[in-house]
Structure 1
Amino acid sequence: MPSSPVKTAEHNVLLIEEYDALSVAIQSALTKFAPHHRFHAVRSLAEARRAALEQKPELIILDFDPPYPGAIAFFGEMRGVLPETRVLLIAAGVTPELTAERGANGALQFLEKPFELVEFGAAVQALLGPWMETGMSRGTLHDLALDDVALLALSSPRNVAVEVRADEGRTGEFHVRNSQITHARTTEAEGKRALVEMLTWNNPHFIENIAPESAPRTIHDPWAATLIEALREAKKPKHGRPVPAEPKVPAQPAVAPTKTGPKILIIDDTEMLLIFVEDSLALADPTLQMTTALTGLHGVKEAARIIPDLVLVDYVLPDIKFVVASEEMTALRSCQLS
């Protein structure tokens, strides 16, 4: 069957986000952090398969909270057709220690929820940015390994057994039960030693199955400690999984133009939505002087500081009631609330 024509997609970013409002907000943020890329948003992995094959994105961003069923199969398939694509997963529960141990060379890079907008920007720019000119590498789907797949499996609400097949006829498996790694085996080892062995295999492929009702428990430590220990052991020279040094990307200072228009205060506890509203207003009137706040108390302090002409505020605030916030701000002077 002849292959279908594809677009030139070296500057494409594919976003997988099931919530429309967050999808729009993330795309708005991407205009700041990846201004030379085109964005395409989809809501499901099925749509993502079609879009990825057509556009061959440089980066896939997936909001993995809540998790998507079938993610292991999806990334396994994408590895075969888009080996040079990088992936950013927005997820919860990935510890800073594990993130540090995995470094920049994993196929899947994780951004822990909740996060600051600057952290999202740094993650996106780290995967797309100036490190490419240094000759150093960043992980791509070609590097998909057991630790990437284990993190996907650990997010699954069901108990799973992941079969692992690699070059030279190597086979093994690991089990995730109740969000813990409970068992691993190869023909040569069981437990943590089996995890270490599978981490060093070349060209591994992964098949997700439902875990059997009964299986031996060969791993008892918490999953994060288990993975960190296995990764450290696998990096030792005798195991043949060297990790190149991660390049340091210098921060790029931003220069903001002076604005002289009306003062606008925007209060909302979702930072991506704050940025979306701010961008939309800036597009409508570039002269607006805008200030944002993530909480009602912060908003009241900012209102006292800048004395805004207009306040845009979320009716449901995480710390104080809307009525209290509005009374505090209107007492400052006759500013307009919306």
Structure 2
Amino acid sequence: MTADYSAAHESSGVCGDQPSTIDLLFAAYGHLRDAWSELLRDENCDKAAPWRASGPADADPDEVSRLLHIATISADSAAISVLHHLQLLALAYPPDALTEAGLDPRRWPGLSSFSAARSLLEAAGLVSWSLTPDKTERLRRCAQFQLWSANEGSKSDLGPAPGGPGSVDEVRKTIEAAGFEVQGFGRHNDLGVVLDGQVKTFYTANAISKSLGDPGRRLYRWWSGIAHHASWAVSPWRALSLRDDSTGMYLSTLNFEDKHLELAADVAAVVLVAGRSLGDYYGKELRTFESTCQQVETVLRQAIPDVRRALGRPGSDPTLH
């Protein structure tokens, strides 16, 4: 069998008088990128919002103040990561990828957009999870996240040096001084925080579920399957063809433009939830941001049936068969 690395030709092009899928995707991610960037740049924060109202008290140990500060730093860093992935997705669908002959397979991102969306989802989930308004819960979550990070760093050659800033020992000291109990767990005797009588640690899937509920959990499973090249997730995208020149079987990737529209609509919904968490925590004005995300999602979901009709399979989700 010979592998054919070009995309299989399944393109809707332009649906009547409607914009092409490339036009829709290029505009959608551009709008989301700009809206998210403006939200991050907005410095008009309400001093009655949780970032000030549920901050450290004078009587709190220094370590509590440090953990609360780290919680916001972690969330802000993740928020910048969301922006980076929106920028990448905005570049993934250039208008000149659509030619008179259809989509140029050399310019179509294929499955790579789903891997970028998965990383965006992880960052968005961390933003919402870390910026919970309740001070006590924010401390609990930060303690879990920092110990998890230290555990993972200790297993990497690039992690913090033992005894240095960010190392397991130093993080443990900070968390215990903040009033938490720390215990080992699991095969590798990683450290976790004792909460409600159980040793707990940070799990990305749990943070996403906590922030985005069942829809977030389903998206994470679906996008992770593609990112990890699991057969159940990627096989619907593959097409085998027998060439009539006796050179054998060729494997190619279907475009599935409708699934890319669905992906962008789902990204808009994820970004909206994360943006609300960030805006509520800092007391930022959200009306313009919310309107942009909602309009992007609505336009894309309305376009999906038209694209599927143009592709000759109305009402059919190709990845479910």
Structure with bigger RCO (C-alpha 8 Å, 6+ apart): 2
Query: TM-score normalised to the size of structure 2?
Result: 0.25
Query: TM-score normalised to the size of structure 1?
Result: 0.24
